[in-house]
Structure 1
Amino acid sequence: MGTREVPGRQTVRPRAGPMLQDSGVPHADDDAAARTSRRTTASSTATPARTATTLDPAAMRAHYRAEGLSEQDLEPGPFAQFSLWFAQAEASGLHEPNAMIVSTADERGRPSSRTVLLKRYDEQGFVFFTNYGSRKGRELEANPYVSLLFPWHGIARQVIISGTAERTGRDETAAYFRTRPHGSQLGAWASEQSSRVASREELDRMYAQLAARYPEGEDVPAPAQWGGYRVRPESVEFWQGRENRLHDRLRFTRTEDDGWEVERLCP
């Protein structure tokens, strides 16, 4: 498929109210009979607390909207386009629109995924914070290639970012750490993320010891093993759900001169 340069900037005005929503999640014709066909409940003789429900994922259907995303609608670069969609996701009422799935792989190519929160972004990349000793931290040290996915299902949109991750500077980490709630600061010390712990009680005990050492209002230093990663994107895809599964997928790809090209992908 051919590529083309991004056209001149064209302002995309946020669409108000229902225009943002995926009109088929759930769809109006997903009536009670259809819902009943997707599940089988346990016998009425089962105790209420133990009632089993079996769902058929193949029977679940969402009907997407007719309106989509064209090349002419795009902002002139991936960061401007992300900023627009991010603002619209927040305005739509989605819970934690900054939640993203981070996928990494170890030195043998075995993948793992988890949800983290985006904490900042700019022309340099997308930043999140974690324990460097966690599984994702260890994998990023061995293999810096990473994928980020923003699953904005409520508005039938996704953003998929592929690139490489590198640690942020300690000054940037410390500045962000100071903005965290006191309890979250203590939690970063109490949890050796991804390592085994004997029990929940043991984790709570470690937290209580830290709370006694650093009471509310006292400065908590950023742990040495905790900090940020900045993902420098090589490609950023904007996915808009469309009718009949013919979704719009427009992908920005970084060029050798550090510019961007846009290509349309088949759904």
Structure 2
Amino acid sequence: MAIRTLISIEGRSKIDKTSRILCMAFLVFLLVAVGTVACKKAEEGVSEEENVALKESIIEFEGNVGVAVGKYIFIAEARGFDLVVQGSLESGDVSMLVGKEIRGEGEFTPERPSILGINTIEVKDESGNWMNVFTRSEDIVISDYLDLKARDKFPVLEKLTYDKKNDWENKEIARVFGKLEGEEGNYKISVLDEKGKEVGKIIVDNFTDFGIYYVKKLRLFDKFWFYVDIKDTVDWNVRRRTREMFHADVLSAGLF
């Protein structure tokens, strides 16, 4: 009788142990399954957020092209944006778009809030039909672009006079107020003081695409700020006679 009781107890112990193992295995499986579902939902949530963000960053534009230089396009209707074309049009370059009515889509990014990277461009022909002339297939790359933060780093050259070269020779970049004179290949900036009097001239060697683009955008204004890369000082004998102070490349322009 005692032997049968012992066997019975041992049997129940084995059954209880097996039951506990099965319960533990089921709990582990349940936790893994719940975790997998939660991760999947989280991934789907992130994907949906990314899709919404992408859609919100796409901006449609339509208007007449006023300025087109290099990869930069300006249309007054796209207020606050400089449109950037990365790549080639199906025929010609962006200058062929000046004066034409265009429409399309561009992509906005918080890192460059004033830039709209163009995804597509359509041009309206003489019959009023729209024709696609550009579809972007490259990442946006703009090496000469200067945003407001970058322009703030340009010191103002104040109280300039042609006979004090130390005012500019210890600087690499600067901002000057004046007006553009001359013609292509022979441009000069007439630098003006607070009273509008000329204090000297700067010989323009080159414009970046972004620089000439902004100069053309400001064509309705006679005087504005020039952001320049300072180069060689003009020889004293020439400087004394012509008041030409130094050579420079124009990187940008603006009303402030």
TM-score category of the 2 structures, normalised to the smaller one: under 0.3
More strand by share: 2
Which has the greater radius of gyration? 2
TM score, norm. by length of structure 2:
0.23
TM score, norm. by length of structure 1:
0.22
Structure with bigger RCO (C-alpha 8 Å, 6+ apart): 1
